[in-house]
Amino acid sequence: MFHVKHLYYCYLLCKLTKNSVKWGFMKNIVAKKKYGQNFLKDEYVLEQIIQAMPNNNNKIVEIGPGLGDLTKYLVDVKSVEAFEVDADLCKVLQSRFENLIATNHLTLRCGDVLQNWKSRLLDEPYDLVANLPYYIATNIIQKALADENCKNILVMVQLEVAQKFCATSGDSDFGALSVIAQSVAETRLIVKVPPTSFDPQPKVDSAVFLIEKKSSRNDEIFEKFLRVAFAQPRKTLLKNLSSVYKKDELEKFFLDLGLTQTIRPHEVYISDYHQLYNLTRSLDATREHGAISSQRE
Ligand code: SAM
């Protein structure tokens, strides 16, 4: 008789031999680490995701439907366009959702979502709802923030990443991602999720969080400015920015904005970041080569 311990041995063996975890042995499906495959098996969390979905008429985009366990819930609520990179999983999905695909209630795109994503992923308004592959989660969220057809983002990511997007000024997690997201949206942590909710289990805790967008902003220079501002989070903001701008000019701006010279990057309000950025832009314009735009990536 097959016992749960055999599944565990199988897991260890596959881990040692193939750098991937055999999952769903009856379906002959292998969970591929390189695609960040951790399948969500917790019904409670799946229901929490559905309950947190914004109430509107937007289409749903799911990135990485995997075996379709979240997709199954999503198609009950709305029509879905799903992007899956793994050709093996695409076959599973095609057979599992054959009827819904035939009626165009579910559109399945097989391939790397990042290859398809120019400035807009769809030509119509959509909400992104997904258990994201963690290795590209931040990149996907940033693209969705800049995509003007993406209206809301409800995603499962590594807990640490969710906390960065949701942190407010003063929190130790407050950083460039918090400023970028909260300049155009409201962010909210929905639920923390332990590794035991997945198969195979990830090594880290996860969380579902919601970004309700008010607008879209795609200002790469502002993002570069923030990277400089938060380059060394424990140093003062003045010190970080001094790596690019003249200190005496910065000191004047800090005085005008009522910022102390000892303030740390995580203690500054988002509105102050925008004001500081606008002031430094006037400096860039007076120089032959813009200070921030000449920074290396
Ligand atoms: N949604 C499923 C679930 O909740 O059980 C699977 C989530 S799993 C964390 C991430 C999924 O994203 C996998 O199915 C993986 O193959 C897919 N994926 C990884 N990289 C991708 C990419 N570049 N484009 C599209 N899908 C990708």
- Six token digits for residue 111: 């391939």
CB of 84 closer than 6 angstroms to any ligand 1 atom: yes
Cβ neighbors of 69 (< 8 A, separation 6 or more) are 39, 40, 41, 46
* Mean of pLDDT values over 33-53: 97
pLDDT the model gives residue 15: 43
**115-172 per-position pLDDT tens digit:** 989 899 999 999 999 999 999 999 999 999 999 999 999 999 999 999 999 999 999 9
Cα–Cα distance, 264 to 171 (Å, whole number): 11
Nearest to 234 by CA among 205, 266, 256, 212: 266
Residue type, 74: L
Q: Where does the pLDDT of residue 219 fall: very low under 50, low under 70, confident under 90, or very high at 90 and above?
A: confident
Q: Which atom of ligand 1 is nearest to the CA of 65?
A: 1
pLDDT at 64 over 70: yes
CATH superfamily of the domain spanning 221-296: rRNA adenine dimethylase, C-terminal domain (1.10.8.100)
The token pair that represents 127 in the structure block: 């909400």
Centroid of ligand 1 to alpha carbon of 91 (angstroms):
14
**What is the residue extent of each domain of the chain?**
26-218, 221-296
Q: Which residues, other chains included, contact 244 with Cβ-Cβ below 8 Å and sequence gap of 6+?
A: 228, 291, 292, 295
Q: What pLDDT is attached to residue 155?
A: 98
Helices 43-52 and 69-77 pack at an angle, to 10 degrees, of 30
Q: Ligand 1 centre and the CA of 63: distance in Å? A: 6
How wide is the angle at C-alpha 291 spanned by C-alphas 286 and 296, nearest 5°?
Answer: 155
Residue 132 CA, ligand 1 centroid: distance in Å: 6
89 lines ligand 1 (CB under 6 A): yes
41, exposed or middle or buried, with CB in 10 Å at 0-12, 13-18, 19+? middle
Work out the angle at residue 195's Cα, subtended by the Cα atoms of residues 51 and 28, and round it to the nearest 5 degrees: 95
Distances in Å between the alpha carbon of 106 and those of 100, 101, 179?
Answer: 5, 5, 34
Across 105-120, average pLDDT = 95
| Residue whose tokens read 């790397």 | 112
pLDDT digits (tens, 9 = 90+) for 239-248: 999 999 999 9
Locus of tokens 């690019």: 244
The phi and psi torsions of 282 (rounded to 5 degrees) equal -65, -30
Which amino acid residue places its CA nearest to atom 18 of ligand 1? 64
**Considering just the CA atoms, what is the radius of gyration of the chain in Å?**
22
pLDDT (mean) for 58-75:
98
**Centroid of ligand 1 to alpha carbon of 272 (angstroms):** 37
- Token readout for 208 is 């579902």
Please say whether the dihedral angle defined by the alpha carbons of residues 293, 116, 141 and 127, taken in this order, is positive or negative.
positive
Give the model's confidence band at 23: pLDDT under 50 very low, under 70 low, under 90 confident, else very high. Answer: very low
Whole-angstrom distance, CA of residue 103 vs CA of residue 110: 18
Residue nearest to atom 4 of ligand 1 (CA): 40
Q: How is residue 250 written in tokens?
A: 């910065």
Q: Which residues contact 127 (CB under 8 A, 6 or more apart)?
A: 53, 54, 56, 58, 59, 60, 61, 150, 151, 152, 153, 154
User: Is pLDDT above 70 for 285?
Assistant: no
- For ligand 1, whether the C-beta of 112 sits within 6 Å is yes
CA distances in angstroms from 292 to 25, 136, 224, listed in the order given: 52, 26, 7
For the Cβ of 40 lying below 6 angstroms from any atom of ligand 1, the answer is yes
* CATH ID of 26-218, from 3.40.50.970, 3.40.50.620, 3.40.50.150, 3.40.30.10: 3.40.50.150
Same fold, 26-218 and 221-296: no
Name the nearest CA neighbour of 113 among 71, 144, 92: 144
- pTM listed for this prediction: 0.88
126: phi then psi, degrees, rounded to nearest 5: -150, 160
pLDDT number for residue 175? 98
Mutation probe of ligand 1 site: the residue of 131, 134, 135, 159 with most atoms within 8 A of C-beta: 131
